[in-house]
Amino acid sequence: MAAGGGARRVIVALGGNALLRRGQPMTLENQRANVRLACDHLAPIAARHELLVSHGNGPQIGLLALEEAAYEPAPHFPLDVLGAETQGMIGYLLEQELGNRLPVDKPLATLLTMIEVDPHDVAFDNPTKPIGPGYPRDEAEELAARRGWAFQRDGDRFRRVVASPAPKRIVELRQIRWLLEHGCVVICAGGGGIPTAYRTERQLVGIEAVIDKDHASGLLAREVGADVFIMATDTLAVFVGFDTPDRRAIVRAHPDAILSEHASEFAAGSMLPKVLAACDFARATGRPAAIGALADIEGLVAGTAGTRIATDVDGVVLAGA
């Protein structure tokens, strides 16, 4: 936990919109422009608090997989290797742009982060994690037949889905703690971490999967003793009745209450993992988690913006109540 002077240990999990907005071409220029905007908001937090940043990588890892699939004679690059590539690329952009906004003597580090999973996790029997772009039905069916990929409908298109096992252990946790204790802004656990498992007692190997970013970030937040865990997304808060005229923002909620009263309203591929990760963190630590817009990061840290999930809240409080 951060020490003295009002400083807090803050982990911010950046949603994919921080790197690529829905419908944008996946060009380097677009990604860097979005990273610059994200770092405009993150820099003031890094200047006053201990900051860890994690991030999504769904579009990026999907693009790498698509590029790799285009070269039939080339050897197959598994998802753990592609995940490591995206951690390096995205971490480079974040570290450079954030460093451009902080004092020159403020240390920053991007750490390739492996996360252990159970190779027998039931998630391997039911791929659900979407990666990459959407395809028309005929293209998705052709790729499924040629590459053995699984697809699920996403609106009027189809996206590749892969196994998403639960994160068990952060391999580089000791290094992350050391960097924090020496005043470093740490960018780590990108894309949910590089999925790995032990083949024998001492032989760590990569696993063909993508770990959910929010659950991996929640594990990270618990293990480093974060004072607040923030999931920055493209909505102002968690909403009930999201697609109805009666939609209302959840201002604050107890983890048990939000899950018992509203869990069925949250989309499995987007908001539900965030809510579950927030609830797990709040229950395990007694500290708050927040979900909201990156532009409101100051308020999310202070507990005055977005949706605050904490054990000191009674029930579920909606906006306007």
Mean pLDDT of all residues belonging to the chain: 89
Report yes or no on 279 lying in a domain: yes
Partnered with residue 186 across adjacent β-strands are 52, 109
Regarding predicted confidence, which is higher, 39 or 17? 39
138-141 own/partner pairs: CB under 8 Å, 24+ apart: none
Q: Quick one: pLDDT at residue 147?
A: 80
Contacts of residue 20, defined as CB under 8 A and 6 or more positions apart, other chains included, come to 26, 30, 31, 34, 59, 60
Strands 108-111 and 50-55: unpaired
Report yes or no on 120 lying in a domain: no
Residues 92 and 198 both lie in one domain: yes
Residues 50 and 68 both lie in one domain: yes
Q: What is the domain count for the chain?
A: 2
Residues 204 and 252 both lie in one domain: no
Catalytic residue, from 15, 62, 91, 213: name it: 213
Catalytic residue, from 57, 132, 190, 274: name it: 274
Catalytic residue, from 15, 17, 91, 193: name it: 17
Question: pLDDT tens digits, residue range 79-125?
Answer: 898 889 989 999 999 999 999 999 999 999 999 999 999 999 999 99
Catalytic residue, from 56, 129, 132, 191: name it: 129
Instruction: Flag whether pLDDT at 9 surpasses 90.
Output: yes
Report yes or no on 153 lying in a domain: no
Look up the pTM and report it: 0.90
pLDDT category at 5 given cuts 50, 70, 90 is: low
Instruction: Flag whether pLDDT at 43 surpasses 80.
Output: yes
Q: Quick one: pLDDT at residue 78?
A: 84
Report yes or no on 142 lying in a domain: no
> Could you tell me which of 54, 106, 21 has the C-alpha nearest to residue 220?
54
Residues 6 and 99 both lie in one domain: yes
Q: Quick one: pLDDT at residue 14?
A: 93
Helices 79-99 and 28-48, axial angle in degrees (round to 10): 60
Q: Quick one: pLDDT at residue 129?
A: 84
Write the CATH number for 58. Answer: 3.40.1160.10
Q: Which two tokens stand for residue 93?
A: 């952009």
Q: Quick one: pLDDT at residue 82?
A: 87
Report yes or no on 144 lying in a domain: no
Contacts of residue 5, defined as CB under 8 A and 6 or more positions apart, other chains included, come to none
Annotated catalytic, 168? no
Mean pLDDT for the stretch of residues 248-276: 90
Residue type, 223: E
The residue length of the chain stands at: 321
Q: Measured between alpha carbons, how far apart are the two ends of the chain, in Å?
A: 34
Give the end of a domain, one of 205, 226, 247: 226
Residues 184 and 318 both lie in one domain: no
Q: Quick one: pLDDT at residue 198?
A: 92
Q: How far is Cα 248 from Cα 67, in angstroms, rounded to an integer? A: 41
pLDDT category at 146 given cuts 50, 70, 90 is: confident
Residues 4 and 51 both lie in one domain: yes
Annotated catalytic, 17? yes
Annotated catalytic, 213? yes
Residues 302 and 221 both lie in one domain: no
Q: Quick one: pLDDT at residue 239?
A: 93
Residues 186 and 261 both lie in one domain: no
Question: pLDDT tens digits, residue range 151-189?
Answer: 998 888 898 888 999 999 999 999 999 999 999 999 999
Q: Quick one: pLDDT at residue 30?
A: 86
Catalytic residue, from 16, 132, 218, 306: name it: 16
Annotated catalytic, 274? yes
Q: Which two tokens stand for residue 240?
A: 């009930």
267-275 own/partner pairs: CB under 8 Å, 24+ apart: 268/128, 269/128, 269/130, 269/154, 271/233, 271/235, 271/238, 273/212, 273/214, 273/215, 274/214, 274/231, 274/233, 274/238, 275/238, 275/309
> Could you tell me which of 257, 222, 237 has the C-alpha nearest to residue 304?
237
Instruction: Flag whether pLDDT at 247 surpasses 70.
Output: yes
Q: Which domain holds residue 280?
A: 236-284+294-321
Instruction: Flag whether pLDDT at 3 surpasses 90.
Output: no
Report yes or no on 90 lying in a domain: yes
Instruction: Flag whether pLDDT at 31 surpasses 80.
Output: yes
Residues 88 and 183 both lie in one domain: yes
Backbone φ and ψ of 202, nearest 5°: -125, 15
Provide the CA 111 distance to its chain's centre, in angstroms. Answer: 15
For the chain, give the percent of residues with pLDDT over 90: 63
Q: Quick one: pLDDT at residue 56?
A: 86
Mean pLDDT for the stretch of residues 42-57: 94
Report yes or no on 158 lying in a domain: no
Q: Which residue has the tokens 């000191």?
A: 312
Report yes or no on 95 lying in a domain: yes
